[in-house]
Structures are given as structure tokens and as C-alpha cells.
Amino acid sequence: EAGVTQFPSHSVIEKGQTVTLRCDPISGHDNLYWYRRVMGKEIKFLLHFVKESKQDESGMPNNRFLAERTGGTYSTLKVQPAELEDSGVYFCASSQVRGTGELFFGEGSRLTVL
């Protein structure tokens, strides 16, 4: 069974440019999450999809960030325009059910904004 896959693994862009990160969750997992870790700090929640619906987007930093999950399968996270403080590792995770289940994580997309 394929795990959670993320693309790209690393992206280097200049301030003001746009970047789109993609996440393919484990097949059959309705719950999809985006998290971010800024250098040396805690992994912070960004948002949560249940199928194609945004269940909770309270962690999104500002309106420069846009997440979508059309059709309830893969998800994209777009940053436009990117700022220096957006640099970090963006993790996607999925789970089959809510409750006591653990999250399954992708390898992360490292974003460097110069």
C-alpha cells in the first residue's frame, strides 16, 4: 500500500513568487491534514480536510495560503506571494477515521524562500 506522498520534496523560490505543494493521501483516507514546521520549532497545524470539505482551517497563517482538495483525493497548498517567513517544512498527513487513530505522514516538502 502506498503511503502519503508529497511533491516537491524541496522548492527554492524568491520572495514574491508562487509555489504549489501537492499531497496524495493514502487511498481511502477521508481525513487530510497540512502541518508546518519552521526551523527548530514545533510542528504546527494548518488545516484539516474531510473529503473535499475544509473542516478546520484555523491554523492557516494568512490569506496568502490557499488549500484545496477537489474531488476529495489529493490536495494542494498554494502560497502566493511567498514571504521569507513562509520557509519551513510542510507536512501532509492522512487518517482513515477520527478518534483514536494515528496520523500517517508524508516525507514533507521543504520550502525555502529567498
3 state DSSP class of 105: strand
For the record, the C-alpha cell of 85 comes out as 517567513
We find the least distance from the C-beta atom of residue 39 to another protein, in angstroms, to be 10
We find the least distance from the C-beta atom of residue 44 to another protein, in angstroms, to be 7
Binding site for another protein (CB under 8 A): 3-4, 6, 31, 33, 35, 37, 40-45, 48, 55-56, 91, 93, 95, 98-100, 102-108
DSSP letters of 51-79? TTEEEE-TT--STTEEEE-GGGS-EEEEE
Nearer to another protein, 9 or 18 (CB): 9
